[in-house]
Amino acid sequence: MTEIPLLEVESLTRRYGRRIGCQDVAFTLWPGEVLGIVGESGSGKTTLLNCLSGQLPPSEGRVSYLTRDRGAVDIWEISEAQRRLLLRTDWGLVHQTPSEGLRMGVSAGANVGERLMAVGARNYGEIRTEALHWLDALEVDRGRVDEFPDAFSGGMRQRLQIARNLVTRPRLVFMDEPTGGLDVSVQARLLDLIRRLVSELSLSCVIVTHDLGVVRLLAHRLLVMRQGEVVEAGLTDQVLDDPQHPYTQMLVSSILPV
Amino acid sequence: MNAESLEGEDRPGHTGYNYAYLDEQTKRMLRRALLKAVAIPGYQVPFASREMPMPYGWGTGGVQVTASIIGPSDVLKVIDQGADDTTNAVSIRKFFANTAQVTTTTSSERATIIQTRHRVPETALSDGQILVYQVPIPEPLRWLEARESETRKMHALREYGVMHVSLYEDIAHHGRIAKSYDYPVLVEDAYIMRPSPIPKFDNPKLDNCPALQLFGAGRERRVYALPPYTRVVSLDFEDHPFDVETWEESCAICGAQDSFLDEVVTDDKGGRMHVCSDTEYCNKRLAAQGRQEATA
Amino acid sequence: MTAISQDPSIMMEVKDLAKTFTLHAQGGTEIRALRGIDLEVRKGECLVLAGPSGAGKSTLLRCLYGNYLPQAGSILIRHEGEPTEMIGAEPRSILAMRRRTLGFVSQFLRAIPRVPTLELVMEPLLSQTVPKDEAESRSVSILRHLNVPEHLWGLAPATFSGGEQQRVNIARAMIFEYPIMLLDEPTASLDQENREAVLDLIASARDRGAAMIGIFHDQGAREAVATGVFTLSSRKEAA
């Protein structure tokens, strides 16, 4: 296999003073792969996601990303401008709470079009057409393009947030509990939609969640985190059906069958 | 601009204040900030804004800028929304006549310094003149980002996509860019700047202007500048290009068709008329017409 | 030297396979489910796993699919022509084997996504870059063959009856002509007509050269498809 990994993480550690956020995490993400990071709250999964996605500098270790134009770069070695550009173009970041990832004061269309304008799109008609295309793709009624996000339900807001991220056709999307806080039926529909988009667009994803049902459906592979460390890693169905580590066994047995 | 040589105690009009009201240290601090502002066109430079003998919103930023650059040989004009004769304009003019012993004028051509609130004179400015703007809110990104640390970073990294988001919103909701004043501009392809609440009609006058343009925000403690002949472009979309207001009417007083018109309600029966917002321009045209009639 | 590298007709070779479950929540109790398993299966063979309940038939099948993690031994499968070790392989390699080489048919549809039946069945073909219209016509014919009523094709299987779900699952698992197929009681709880339809699919897969390993509880099914039997003895003693 001559493929080159999209993301290579080596001995990544983040400390908060003397407390450990995450410790000595290493993994490789291949193009088109969906990696689930599971663990209870406080297990360090969100810290890890923040270090991976350029939000939080790690204390040690490296995060190497295969850029479109400059080969593999350590995202913590490049300038902040380049890192922020990456996050607005080739990456997506989906927050658990849509209002964190959306501009609540501007319309759905402007939310979706913003990234295009940020990279220099200056044709209103084209921006709008593209925004409508992504509303369609996320199954949001295009008639609502001029409404503000507060007029949308939680599930629709989350779709809007995803559309806003996908408009620049990123290759890597980070998701933090993408279905957290939604009603179960809304959750299920959103998951199916994400699953379809991920496969249609050949997205690579890192999904952080405590919900094993989410990773069962979406993730190819899992990292199980506990107290800042990865205690088990492997194929999703293998980790869930034949967990090896005591913590993973506890995690799997403590939920309803998925 | 040679206040240093003017130890003003013996000068008439002083009543215990330093020349041009501010102390020399403050003026020096302001001039340093202004030099930096001129060196980086469109960049907002913080300065230690002083209490002035007028409330915020009445031009404390502009007055401090003017005070820091004015000297006895200067000729000062002050306008408020184009008018030389409003309370604000009159009192600022008097303030400097009193504290800086400068000659004041209503003539844009004669003035060496023009302090303005919300207009650029219709008369084209020339080399050597300085236009001082009073600015309420200097930060163009403030409408969407409350954190100063973040807006500074956005400027530093030129993350300006959001400015077009606001224009997008206008078109989406109104079918056109409805913003008609304080219309954002891009300075020398680098910084996005608020031109202060001038009508967008005046935006083209900022571009390649021979005069030095200084902007002072007293409450927000920022100065910024456009050195002479700076490239200033109003933001727009390819398919919704920037344009300025036009009127069907012409000025009811002087008949001008090329100036910015104010609509004035003349009675309580719906009567109204349009007149030049720039009173000096209007008077000048009227005087010229009078001469023509006299010679005719 | 392994047999599989000598003989191109061998599709899977298992050597000395061992699987132990360690139940940490129960004081680290160890259950030795499998030990010393050796088997091989060739093109066109259907090896039926036999043995009493609890002998580890299902566990073995899951190990062979990479769903369970064996402790020792070797599972070599012929993947894209080359003998490839599954134990210790990277997840993405196992996924590639599952995509192109290794099919798994079980009676349970796991984590049913809310996707219309026809799309669900087409998916394995589309992921192999089979053109959409071809994927669709093949899906239609397999759904017809398995008597899944046409009015259900546009609906997600979550609301279907157990038998309908099972047949959708079989259609999805058998739509692609995997060189190796693992069958976990594919005909259990089907009525006679549908059982015949499924056995028919299995037999024709075998006849086109698929290597198969399966668990069949009913004798008739076993007789219809088996070419050989592999017997597991009960081995439940704790270590």
- Tens of pLDDT along C105-135? 886 656 566 788 999 999 899 888 899 999 9
| Cβ-based contacts of B156 with chain A (< 8 Å) | 81
Of the candidates A235, A232, A236, A234, the residue with the CA atom closest to the CA atom of residue A250: A232
- Structural domain includes residue A141: yes
Answer whether C220 touches A (CB < 8 Å).
no
How many domains are contained in chain A?
A: 2
Predicted pLDDT at C162: 82
Q: Are residues A210 and A144 in the same domain?
A: no
**Residue C157 confidence class, pLDDT cut points 50, 70, 90:** confident
Predicted pLDDT at A258: 44
Q: Are residues A178 and A165 in the same domain?
A: no
| Cβ-based contacts of B240 with chain A (< 8 Å) | 124
By C-alpha distance, the chain B residue nearest A115 is B161
Last residue in a domain, options A126, A154, A169: A169
- Percentage of chain C modeled with pLDDT above 70: 94
By C-alpha distance, the chain A residue nearest B161 is A118
Q: Are residues A131 and A221 in the same domain?
A: no
Residue A135 neighbours by CB under 8 Å, 6+ apart? A108, A109, A112, A141, A142, A144, A145, A160, A163
Predicted pLDDT at B15: 60
- Structural domain includes residue C4: no
Predicted pLDDT at B13: 52
Q: Are residues A70 and A175 in the same domain?
A: yes
Residue A107 pLDDT > 90: yes
**Residue C237 confidence class, pLDDT cut points 50, 70, 90:** very low
CB contact burial A175-204 (16+ within 10 A = b; e otherwise): bbbbbbebeeebbbbbbbbbbbbbeeeebb
Among residues B71, B82, B218, B282, the one annotated as catalytic is B282
Instruction: Please name the chains neighbouring C, where neighbouring means 3+ C-beta pairs under 8 angstroms.
Output: A
Q: Residue C53 is encoded by which pair of tokens?
A: 């309940």
- Structural domain includes residue A96: no
Which positions 188-207 of C are in contact with A (Cβ < 8 Å)?
none
Answer whether B237 touches A (CB < 8 Å).
yes
Which positions 21-40 of A are in contact with B (Cβ < 8 Å)?
none
| Cβ-based contacts of A244 with chain C (< 8 Å) | 22, 69
Average pLDDT over residues A135-157: 96
Residue B244 neighbours by CB under 8 Å, 6+ apart? B200, B201, B203, B204
Answer whether B267 touches A (CB < 8 Å).
no
CB contact under 8 A, A250 and C113: no
- Structural domain includes residue C79: no
Question: For A231, left (φ over 0), alpha (ψ -120 to 50), or beta?
Answer: alpha
- Structural domain includes residue C168: yes
Which positions 168-197 of B are in contact with A (Cβ < 8 Å)?
168-169, 171-173
| Cβ-based contacts of A192 with chain C (< 8 Å) | 113-115
Assess contact for B171 and B237: CB atoms under 8 A: yes
- Structural domain includes residue A162: yes
Instruction: Please name the chains neighbouring B, where neighbouring means 3+ C-beta pairs under 8 angstroms.
Output: A
- Percentage of chain A modeled with pLDDT above 90: 88
Please tell me the distance in Å from C225's CA to the nearest CA on chain A.
29
Residue A256 pLDDT > 80: no
Residue C215 pLDDT > 60: yes
Predicted pLDDT at A234: 96
**Residue A254 confidence class, pLDDT cut points 50, 70, 90:** confident
- Structural domain includes residue C115: yes
Predicted pLDDT at A257: 54
Letter for the amino acid at B92? I
**Residue C159 confidence class, pLDDT cut points 50, 70, 90:** confident
Task: Show the domain range for C200.
Answer: 44-66+91-231
Tell me the C-alpha distance between C178 and C171, whole Å.
Answer: 13
Question: Quick one: CA dihedral B229, B231, B235, B236, positive or negative?
Answer: positive
Q: Are residues A232 and A158 in the same domain?
A: no
- Structural domain includes residue C14: no
- Tens of pLDDT along A47-106? 999 999 999 999 999 999 999 999 999 999 999 999 999 999 999 999 999 999 999 999
Q: Are residues A218 and A230 in the same domain?
A: yes
Q: Taking CB atoms and an 8 Å cut-off, how many pairs form between chains A and C?
A: 56
How many domains are contained in chain C?
A: 1
Q: Are residues A222 and A178 in the same domain?
A: yes
Tell me the C-alpha distance between B48 and B222, whole Å.
Answer: 8
Please tell me the distance in Å from B189's CA to the nearest CA on chain A.
13
Please tell me the distance in Å from A34's CA to the nearest CA on chain C.
10
Q: Residue B290 is encoded by which pair of tokens?
A: 């009078």
Residue C239 pLDDT > 60: no
- Structural domain includes residue C5: no
Answer whether A117 touches B (CB < 8 Å).
yes
Phi, psi of B197 (to 5 degrees): -75, 50
The minimal CB distance from B172 to the residues A80, A107, A115 is found for A107
Q: A34-38 and A221-226: which strand pairing? A: parallel
Mean pLDDT score of chain C: 90
Check if B251 is active-site: yes
Check if B175 is active-site: no
Answer whether A101 touches B (CB < 8 Å).
no
Distance from chain centroid for Cα C50: 16
Predicted pLDDT at A41: 86
Predicted pLDDT at B294: 78
By C-alpha distance, the chain A residue nearest C27 is A246
- Selected for mutation to probe chain A from C20, C80, C86, C95 (highest A CB count within 10 Å) is C95
- Structural domain includes residue A41: yes
**C228-231: strand order across its sheet:** C102-106, C180-184, C211-215, C46-50, C228-231
Assess contact for A39 and A233: CB atoms under 8 A: no
Task: Show the domain range for A155.
Answer: 106-169
The minimal CB distance from B164 to the residues A81, A117, A146 is found for A117
- Structural domain includes residue C80: no
Answer whether A221 touches C (CB < 8 Å).
yes
- Structural domain includes residue A17: yes
Average pLDDT over residues A152-171: 96
Q: Are residues A176 and A163 in the same domain?
A: no
Answer whether C3 touches A (CB < 8 Å).
no
CATH, residue A213: 3.40.50.300
CATH, residue C160: 3.40.50.300
Show the low-confidence residues of chain B (pLDDT under 50): 1-10
- Structural domain includes residue C82: no
Check if B216 is active-site: no
- Selected for mutation to probe chain A from C59, C80, C106, C114 (highest A CB count within 10 Å) is C114
| Cβ-based contacts of B165 with chain A (< 8 Å) | 103, 106, 110, 113-114, 117
Considering the entire predicted model, what is its pTM? 0.89
| Cβ-based contacts of A146 with chain B (< 8 Å) | 172-173
- Tens of pLDDT along C82-112? 999 999 999 999 999 999 999 998 866 565 6
Average pLDDT over residues C22-38: 92
DSSP state of B223: E
| Cβ-based contacts of B164 with chain A (< 8 Å) | 117, 122
- Structural domain includes residue A95: no
Q: Are residues A160 and A34 in the same domain?
A: no
Predicted pLDDT at C54: 86
Q: Is C232 helix (H, G, I), strand (E, B) or coil?
A: coil
Residue C171 pLDDT > 60: yes
Last residue in a domain, options A125, A144, A169: A169
Predicted pLDDT at B2: 46
CB contact under 8 A, A188 and C67: no
